Chains A and B, each alone.
Chain A
Amino acid sequence: MFSKWFQMNNWSIRDKLIIHFLLISILPALCITLFISWTVSNILEKQSNTHLLQLIGNVSKSLDVQAGSIQNISYFISMNQDVQHFLDEGSVMLQEDEERIRLHRFLQGFSTLYSEIAGIMVVRNDGQYLSNDMYARSNRNLAEEYWYHEAIAARGIYKIIGHPVNRNVTTHVNYKDSEIVSVVRAIQDPDSGNTRGVVLIDLKLRVIAEMLGDVKLGKNGYLLVVDEIGDVIYEPPYTYSFVPNQYEEWQEQSSGSFNVEINKESHHILYHTSPFTNWTTVGVFPMRDTLQAIKEVNKYLVLFFFLLCVIGMTASIYLSTSISKPITKLASMMRKVEEGNMNIPLLSDRKDEVGMLGDSFRHMIQQIKKLLMQVKEEQLKKREAELRSLQAHIQPHFLYNTLDTIQWLTRKEGADEATEVVGALSKLFRIGLSKGNEIIPLVDEIDHIKSYLIIQKTRYKEKLNYSIEVDEQCTRLFVLKLILQPIFENAIYHGIKERRGPGNLSLHISIHQGDLRMVVKDDGKGMDETRLLNLKRALFDKTIEHDYIATPTLSRGGELVGYGLRNVQERIQLTFGVSYGISIESELNQGTTVTITHPILTQKGSDQHDESVKGYHS
């Protein structure tokens, strides 16, 4: 069934065109749509990645700035003369009111200017400390705390402690450990390199929270800050339970991105590590956020595609119909013609190929119609001529019988000349009748003309001389009957009779160039050019109405010429075609030569024309 369906040749041209148009409109549209979708999603992903990385880089930078200013504060504190003095002498110097208050004011200055600082503390290497807002919880030596050691280990370089837990330090305002980030820096003796003390600055984590909270990573993304060992410094209250220290990726590069699977959902992780703080700012956002943007693009693309489909379908159906409809119309018209209805309606006045085809077809039909008419007409004419010749035969039949009787009577009376004439006449009529056969042996035709000449000779006596010469090979041939007699009649009446003195008539029958040729020559009066032209026109000009045969009023002074010759011409041409017939040459006072060209008929029934003629008579 499918193989049948796939045979393209069985499809209608309309279906083929529809499929074709759909293929060339919708297939590329689909390809383009898919390609655009693919490209856009790629670009979007890349763009949002770069954008977010930049964003995270900026956050990381502002964290650096924050850290930088804290570092500066720690330097500023360690450079202060009073602080140096405290480090030299310990809390003994705090007994001095003036110095104590000056230090208090100095440190208070920082909390005035930096509200993000939760507390500042300067610890001497023996555990004595100096602070406005912080103090030791217990008597445990602060110089033995882990953060103090970390500061020493960093050798004067700024060190951030992300999770300052279990410190023997508290602030008056009771910031919890989870609410602060601690920054420590050892104050070193420039000469000996020994650590003289440590500056401890507690930074409110809130500052980081506000910095990160301001940044929106799509709809559902968030930022978190991770320290160098992967512990979370800060993350927002709602997270995707992303545990950063499971991943090693950011150890390798300072910034980049990768994908992870959290709770069976794909998440994109972007990170940027600051070389200053060694903190990594990490952006976590679900892939579906990016997908959302891509989806938005796809929505329009799909809409566009469906619109294209609808337009493409409409266009393809319209186009294919406009092509196939006239063809179908033409085909149905042809079928009608096939059924015999020649009267086809005029096609629409379209100028395209189908219109041209229709025009040609209509033209062809017209031509056929014309030809049919012509055939019909010719048949009719032939029949008419035959009828007339039949009519001409009936009377001679009666005459023939009568003449036989007269001949018998004359012979009885002994009138020999009369007997000869009557015999010739009788023969003339008999051959003329010739049992109704249209084709007769050439010998009979010659007998016929001889009989005619005997009669005429009786009348014209010495004035008429004649000779008949028939080539040997011609004697067995057949010819159309009574074609010579009208020519002889013409020659006698218009040639010999008009001539002074005796005239000669000759008939020569031969085969010339594959045709039978009968040449009738007289040395009679002949014709001048005008007459000859008129005669020729009467014989050859087809444009002259056909019914002139019935009313031969055409040629003045030579009506019978026209009639007799014309009759012969018509009969030959109707029977054998226009390549046969009569040709005339004449010269005034010299004579006229009439040549009949006749096909070679070796037997009576060899020609179809003959059969039809025979059929008509029987």
Chain B
Amino acid sequence: MSMEWRLLDLMVADCYTQMAIDEAIAYARGRKEAPPTIRLYRWKPSAVSIGYFQSLEDEVDLEACKRLSVDVIRRISGGGAVFHDYNGEITYSLIAEEGNRLIPADISESYRVICGSIIEAMRLLGLESEFKPINDIISGGRKVSGNAQTRRYGSVLQHGTILVDFDARTMFTVLKVSKEKISDKAIKQAEDRVTTIRRELGRPVSFEEVRDALISGFEKTLGIRLVLGQLNKAEGDLVTKFRERYASQEWLRLR
């Protein structure tokens, strides 16, 4: 019989809430106060997240974010800065206790295993993709998913993006990625390095379709059964507490 995990289905919320939920589940799971969980979500308003170790001022054009009503948040996971476009991205997170037999103890190996679920979801949608170490998934040589993992509270938390559509112009405006950003040439180059599900499949693909594929991808690859659930009371209280930290200037400007 396959193991049951909890599914927290496609949820729309702001960046502070989304990151607080991921951390709350990791905390609760480490104390066995929550089941292993797969979450799917979107960021509204669109937001920039930076990796734990990144310098805010090196990575983000705060003026541009303000002008475009894009939120900015620091993650507890390392990795790079990401523009989470409400209209172009689905994010997943996986939370399990450390030592779970489905998740390798070796971090690099666990990226490969967890990303295998995303690759399977892509395949179900009709898209060939592969894992590119350290933490990317590529299709036709172009990045379609970025992933980041942290281990704390006795849990493994991996979250990652799946690009459904790509707004290179806005991404270049809010991220300090290049000196001649928003030049047509820079946008063209970004579009050569990054791809999306809609572009690869050449047809409109709804978020619901991607969500269905992700659920099947996780179930099939990890050999689990996802059961629709919700946050429990303990997790809900933690979300309130963690959300406050994520929304604070002190946390945002940590590095």
Q: Do A and B come from one complex?
A: no
Contacts from B to A (Cβ < 8 Å): none
